[in-house]
A and B are shown apart, each in its own frame.
Chain A
Amino acid sequence: MASHSQVTEEKVIAPAQTAAIWKTFWILLILTAIEFAIAFTMPNNRWRVGIFSTMTIVKAFFIVGEFMHLKNEVKVLIWAVLFPVITIAWLLVALLLEGGAHR
């Protein structure tokens, strides 16, 4: 477009914040690799399910917090998203316990 030269005059900014992005990527990759290692070495029992669930929530924390920038939003928005999700998690745990899945 004709306006391109204008824009380059206005802002020539170095690629700044990619370090945090790549760090998050490595964390996600390593967590997934550990999940694989556990899947093939540990017998399937409720502890393994617990470890997998915890690691999944940790991964979700990084994706939502870093990639979706929820960390940088105002508190009200964070809780507006988080609170309904927490009630779902509560429902899930309640259904599993009441349904006797742990037996």
Chain B
Amino acid sequence: MIRFILMVLAGCAVTLARCLADTDDQVAARSDVIDFAGAFQNDGFKIRDGNFFGKVSKDHPQVVAVNLYSGNAYWFTASTGQKAERLKISVFDDNGKPVSYLPYEFGDRAAAGFSPDASGLYYVKVALEEGQPATFCLIYSYK
């Protein structure tokens, strides 16, 4: 019985540790991506007060749907906050076809600048090109 209770407690501890680790990853990723996006803020871009946390690995990119307005310019920025990773952001139209955008990639940080000609649905893909599976934070800025 005691062994069973100890095993349950050990299981709980592992789960709790994992949860806490995820939270730390999210905090690091968010803090880094906000710092990164600050560069665009200096150019008049407003950072939207909203974010998306996702897990990304080399074989499992994440795709997020966004609704954009023609006339606005956007920067999508993502970071894992882990220096060893290599992230990439790409942008697609509502049919999933790639659109032209301005890429920026540097290790755990990636960005894509995009000015839609048509308002509507677009997809933002965050992929990990190199590195271990990681939690990333995606935000966007507009002007």
**Do A and B belong to a common assembly?**
no
Residues on A facing B (Cβ under 8 Å)? none
Residues on B facing A (Cβ under 8 Å)? none
